[in-house]
Structure 1
Amino acid sequence: MHGEYKVPGGKLVVVDLDVEGGVLRHARVAGDFFLEPDEALDAVDDALNGAPADTDAAGLAARVDAALPEGTVMYGLTSEGIAIAVRRALAHATDWTDYDWQLIHEGPQSPALHMALDEVLTAEVAAGHRPPTLRVWEWAAPAVIIGSFQSLRNEVDPAGAARHGIEVVRRISGGGAMFVEPGNTITYSLSVPESLVQGLSFQDSYAYLDDWVLGDMGVKAWYQPLNDIATEAGKVAGAAQKRTVGPGGGPGAVLHHVTMAYDIDADKMLEVLRIGREKLSDKGTKSAKKRVDPLRRQTGLAREAVIERMTDSFRGRYGLSAGKVTPGELARAEELARTKFGSAEWTGRVP
């Protein structure tokens, strides 16, 4: 069995192993990391060999930590990263480079249609009808996108939304509300097979699916668990996920989407969103305006240049060919936008 895992902000870890009698055998760890002393690598392999095959990532990491020689230095490598690579090997996880990725970047579309396209394209990936897809959104109108489980009345000030012509829609993933305006927001979705994140915890999958973008926006960025992308100047993006089941209960797909603040009208945002003191207090900040620091100021780049840099980064790592929403996909999405995402019943399903 073979498993690979790139430690977020670190290096690639590769594990090859067998399972015999329910335990790990012949485990060999390799990668482009740095490790001192040399004998520490043998200690890692020895720690993995003999471990029950159902040991979780935390248990495997603990075995590695206990076996490391005193004074071991790991650079670009962690015991948790080794453990995740093992779990991915055992789960027969796939890698980014196993797929022919497709990019969809089309003209502005309504907020409700964007919600519907996420659902339709991810279902198509789960069914094996389309390749894994990176979709960059263009917004036709300003909107507030609330999470699947958020209360509409607790999150949005209806008078403020009406005053500024802000449409409110609900997405299928969890997480918090997003305030978006055309030209001020960069949003992308990844619709990927479930096998790409096999062996990863829910939390680890967030950083894993966004690792490609962190170092290529022109700023030093990192993942701030569970779902924020942050810089030294503040938060620049938030992510959310939805897991789907494949046809007949078979292997499914993962929808992972991210909204980045390229620029922001903070005063307008505060008139539309109800951002409570409790939400601000757990971020260690006194002002909602300070929670988000836009990419425009930090990068000095035009919005289109940031998007081009992001897609070029993805293409350079994994390959990326131009694609489009098919007529059949668009028809299903338009129907969903009308009957579900544009309906008062769905938007207000948690009043």
Structure 2
Amino acid sequence: MVEDRIPGHGEYKVPGGKLVVADLAVRNGWLADVSISGDFFLQPDEALASINSALEGLPDESSHSAMAGAVRSGLDADVVMFGFSPEAVATAVRRALARATTWTDHEWEIIPPTPLSTHMHVALDEVLAEAVGNGSRKPTLRFWEWESPSVVIGGFQSLQNEVDPEGAQRHSVTVVRRVTGGGAMFMEHGNAITYSLYLPQSLVDGLSFEDSYPFLDAWVMEALEALGIKAWYQPLNDIATDQGKIGGAAQKRFGNGGMLHHVTMSYDINADKMTDVLRIGKEKLSGKGISSAKKRVDPLRRQTGLSRETILDTMVSTFASRYGAKVTGISPEELAEAESRIETKFGTLAWLNRVP
């Protein structure tokens, strides 16, 4: 027989909405004594008892979608939920069960900008995300730094459609493929700001893919605001201001529970060189705010008037103060594993040409 579990308490603040609180116990693997509360609005009042009843007796291992579905099915069609939803209730319940987590449930670390080869950067993204998933590394924010000019193409992009081989050779550009989807990135030392978040998937439990992007980058918006930039997410994965796009994000979730979320923001890019290396169509150019008369793409430099180092320092300090993160480094074992994956995967022609 499964022993009773100590009563759980979980809280979830709906982005732009209200606080939902779940108090409950687990008896023999089933939810018991469920009590949902919060500063939300609900009509009629009796619907609160229906929410509690819908959750009572569910297996404690129920998925987020199963819990949200049970709540939705337990409510009459005329019930009005204002400031919360069945999904928000399910997230609070899973947090009470320690199946969903919050930022403060984790000890965070920061790896400051470290010059590495581009192959090493993309290999480390896989290695460190898996390390967080298996518990050998704490959740981590890592900033990239570039050793040489590079193009990083998305995991599902066609190499021949995205990169001009003659332009790449002319500018001594290294081309690599990353594990996440999204578009190609042209990188040189000092021209962009790129960071990766390695986290447990429990942190985004219950969030849609679309909602997880702004959730994971709320600290970035705070840092940009401190620098005088009002930025927001433009679904699905673009970071924008009233002057246009400044960056883009991509994600990958791993089978062991780890997750990668990374972002690149333009600081000061040579647009002529970029378009010589990348096969960028007119439609993409219009979205990037590039015209034939422009020689550089410099949203962060232009909009802040600050050095790249100052912007990086603000981002690091914002994340550290918000989440209590401590500076750390990459272990010799992690570097060795990344080197191994370069040899067997990221540095191979088979991986680079997986989509010809």
Report the CA distance shift for 1:235/1:60 in structure 2 as closer, same or farther (over 3 A): farther
Report the CA distance shift for 1:164/1:87 in structure 2 as closer, same or farther (over 3 A): same
Instruction: Kindly provide the CA deviation profile for residues 287-331 of structure 1, in whole angstroms up to 9, marking residues without a partner as x.
Output: 597997621111122111111111111111111111111111111
Report if aligned partners of 2:10, 2:21 keep a CA contact under 8 Å in 1.
yes
Aligned residues: 330
SS of alignment partner, residue 146 of structure 2: coil
2: CA distance, partners of 1:329 / 1:99: 21
Report the CA distance shift for 1:6/1:39 in structure 2 as closer, same or farther (over 3 A): closer
Shift of 1:40: 7.2
Question: Residue 84 of structure 1: which of 74, 84, 88 is its match?
Answer: 88
Question: Residue 300 of structure 1: which of 301, 305, 311 is its match?
Answer: 305
What is the percent sequence identity of the aligned residues? 51
Report if aligned partners of 1:101, 1:132 keep a CA contact under 8 Å in 2.
yes
Shift of 1:205: 1.4
Instruction: Kindly provide the CA deviation profile for residues 71-124 of structure 1, in whole angstroms up to 9, marking residues without a partner as x.
Output: x8xxxxx445x7335335336301111111111125311100001111111111
SS of alignment partner, residue 107 of structure 1: strand
1: CA distance, partners of 2:72 / 2:315: 34
Question: Residue 125 of structure 1: which of 124, 132, 135 is its match?
Answer: 132
Task: Provide TM-score, normalisation by structure 2.
Answer: 0.80
Task: Provide TM-score, normalisation by structure 1.
Answer: 0.81
Matched AA of 1:221: A
2: CA distance, partners of 1:64 / 1:138: 55
Structure 1 vs Structure 2 CA RMSD: 3.5
Report if aligned partners of 1:3, 1:93 keep a CA contact under 8 Å in 2.
no
Report if aligned partners of 2:196, 2:262 keep a CA contact under 8 Å in 1.
yes
Report the CA distance shift for 1:142/1:94 in structure 2 as closer, same or farther (over 3 A): same
1: CA distance, partners of 2:169 / 2:76: 57
Report if aligned partners of 2:267, 2:297 keep a CA contact under 8 Å in 1.
no
Matched AA of 1:238: G
Report the CA distance shift for 1:57/1:143 in structure 2 as closer, same or farther (over 3 A): farther
2: CA distance, partners of 1:118 / 1:68: 43
Instruction: Kindly provide the CA deviation profile for residues 321-346 of structure 1, in whole angstroms up to 9, marking residues without a partner as x.
Output: 11111111111112222332122221
- 1:337 aligns to 2:342 (yes or no): yes
Question: Residue 268 of structure 1: which of 270, 273, 293 is its match?
Answer: 273
Pairs within 5 Å for 1:278-317: 279=284, 283=287, 287=291, 294-317=299-322
SS of alignment partner, residue 275 of structure 1: coil
Matched AA of 1:339: T
Report the CA distance shift for 1:59/1:157 in structure 2 as closer, same or farther (over 3 A): farther
Gaps of 5+ in 2: 1-7, 59-65
Give the structure with higher Rg (CA): 2
Shift of 1:162: 1.5
Q: Which residue of 1 aligns with 2:185?
A: 178
Shift of 1:164: 1.6
Report if aligned partners of 1:146, 1:178 keep a CA contact under 8 Å in 2.
yes
Matched AA of 2:36: A
Report if aligned partners of 2:119, 2:342 keep a CA contact under 8 Å in 1.
yes
Report if aligned partners of 1:16, 1:28 keep a CA contact under 8 Å in 2.
yes
